[in-house]
Amino acid sequence: MTGPLKRVFMEQSWISRSPTMAVPQLYTRIVRWLSGKSKRLFRQSPDYAAPILIGLLPDDPQWGEQGLLPMEHAYDPLPVQIPAWNYDTMILFQVKLQVYWDASTLVYEKVWPGADFPTLPPDDLCFDLPVRYLLPGIHVMHYQVTEWTGNVGDSEPRPVTIDLTAPLLAANQGPLKFDISRITSEYLASHDDSVSATIESYRGGAPGDAVTWYWSRDPFAFSDDDIVSTRFLGAQEIGNPVMLVFNGDMIRARGDGMRYAFYRLTDRAGNASSYSLPVTLDVAAQPVPRVLPPPRIKGASGSASYSTLDPLSATNGAIVTIPAQADIRPGDLIAVQWAKPGSTGAYRTDQPEAANPLEFRIPAGRIPQHFGKTLPVYYEVTEPSVEEPHVSNSHTLTVSRISGFPVVQCDKVSGGRLALSGIDEGGRALFTLDSWPFMGTDQFVNLEVRGVDDAGQLLIVPVLTEHPVPSPGSTMSAGHINKVDLQRFKVGEQLDITARVSFDQKLSWQAFTPLTPTLYS
């Protein structure tokens, strides 16, 4: 009997003197040793997990490299961690770890005598790979474990790619190729509001390279604020021209004048190329101010900028007219704004009248909210492919109040008299309101009865409070007052029965002509 098996039985003679070691335990150790021998004969995969090199970039099938080391880590010792395994030892024997770089170069070794290390010491599984090994190229790290039985197990290999070479620009510092040298608002409008440029070629490209492109006022003094964007290049772009897009919003935001466009390439390891040769571009992309005089309102009296509208002349809606001299061009979209956006009674429309593309109708229902008020009226002109519109000069319009609203009607009033005797005990007097101009369901009605009591004190009985108008264009029920409430008023005195209507969502109230009967017993 020779070799490790003999050593096992030799150790058993020592173990047999120990009351803590039983024969079944020795049997288990022998089985493990034999199992290890059989694995070496019929091994199909490594016994141990690959070493862990701290700081490697994650592998990804879409990029070419495996275990890529970022460039900034290539100049310092590289931390390495060996994964712990199912460590086993015997007192008279040892376990050995050997770590190899590029198959045969031993870079780390540890030996653990069984008598001193009954368990695997975690600190011994970490070390730093010296910088002298971190040379450009593709490397492999693996390790071997020699078990106390003499079996030698190999780990999974860990590929490591070290790239210290930056992408190389084409001749003449690889300037971008544009199809124009002057960028105008007209050019942007006809080119999907963008300008495209091409990197025709560069050397040393690989999937995952990043291109960062710039738009600056100075070809030499620039910062990250001048970056337009950064994107990664896919495998299909390597070896082919690369297109970069400068969008119109960015160009306009950075102003007109001479601008410089250039780029820089960075590979996945972080190696950066030089900046490309700046291309000079003359930019005049700001929208040219339009001559847009204020609109006019048909039927309103006044000047080009100020006028007054009698609502009764616009019961079918107000017509806003765009002046013929306004700078309107083919493809422009016109929108009229009536009152401040978001305010009560505001309205916006981009639908012209069929008979005249410069006339826009404001619905009659958007006029009464402005009775007795002043509002701005203007229009906006939006060019194709341009987000920000041109805004016209504003017209200040005053909408007059109107008169002739209906008087409250009461079924118990006759000849200017309201007789209590004409109302049954427990009965009531009913009120109605005839329709009025611009009547709408977005309006509200208050109605109250005022008079004095027997002591001569003011007495008010609310009948309706913020009551919504139920339907337009017809007589509406306006509530009632019970006889018992009427009896609180002094007989022989006049009552004021007043309706008030809000046309502007209860911001203000307009009183109708009151009904003023005299109360009789």
Contact 263, 249 (CB under 8 A): no
The one-letter amino acid at 231: R
Task: Read off the pLDDT of residues 379-419 as tens digits, 9 standing for 90 and up.
Answer: 999 988 677 899 999 999 999 999 889 999 999 999 999 99
The one-letter amino acid at 10: M
Domain 168-284 has CATH 1.20.1070.10: no
Contact 236, 297 (CB under 8 A): no
Contact 294, 238 (CB under 8 A): no
Task: Read off the pLDDT of residues 94-133 as tens digits, 9 standing for 90 and up.
Answer: 999 999 999 899 999 999 998 889 889 999 999 999 999 9
**CATH number listed for the domain at residues 409-520:** 2.60.40
The pLDDT value given to residue 276: 97
d(CA 521, CA 519): 7
Contact 353, 316 (CB under 8 A): no
Looking at 422-488, which runs of residues are DSSP E strands? 428-433, 444-452, 458-468, 476-482
Pair of tokens at residue 405: 């609203």
Task: Read off the pLDDT of residues 307-366 as tens digits, 9 standing for 90 and up.
Answer: 999 999 999 999 999 999 999 999 999 999 999 999 999 999 999 999 999 999 999 999
d(CA 439, CA 402): 13
Buried b (16+ CB within 10 A) or exposed e, 203-234: ebbbbbbbbbbbbbeebeebeeebebeeeebe
Domain 296-399 has CATH 2.60.40: yes
Domains 3-162 and 168-284 in one fold: yes
d(CA 337, CA 347): 6
Q: Which of 260, 259, 262, 261 is nearest to 286 (CA)?
A: 259
CA 88 to chain centre: 57
What are the two backbone dihedrals, phi and then psi, of residue 132, each rounded to the nearest 5 degrees? Answer: -60, -20
Q: What are the domain boundaries of the chain?
A: 3-162, 168-284, 296-399, 409-520
d(CA 292, CA 254): 26
Task: Read off the pLDDT of residues 279-303 as tens digits, 9 standing for 90 and up.
Answer: 999 999 987 789 999 999 999 999 9
The pLDDT value given to residue 14: 37
Q: How do strand 137-146 and strand 152-154 relate by DSSP bridges? A: antiparallel
Look up the CATH architecture of domain 3-162: Sandwich (2.60)
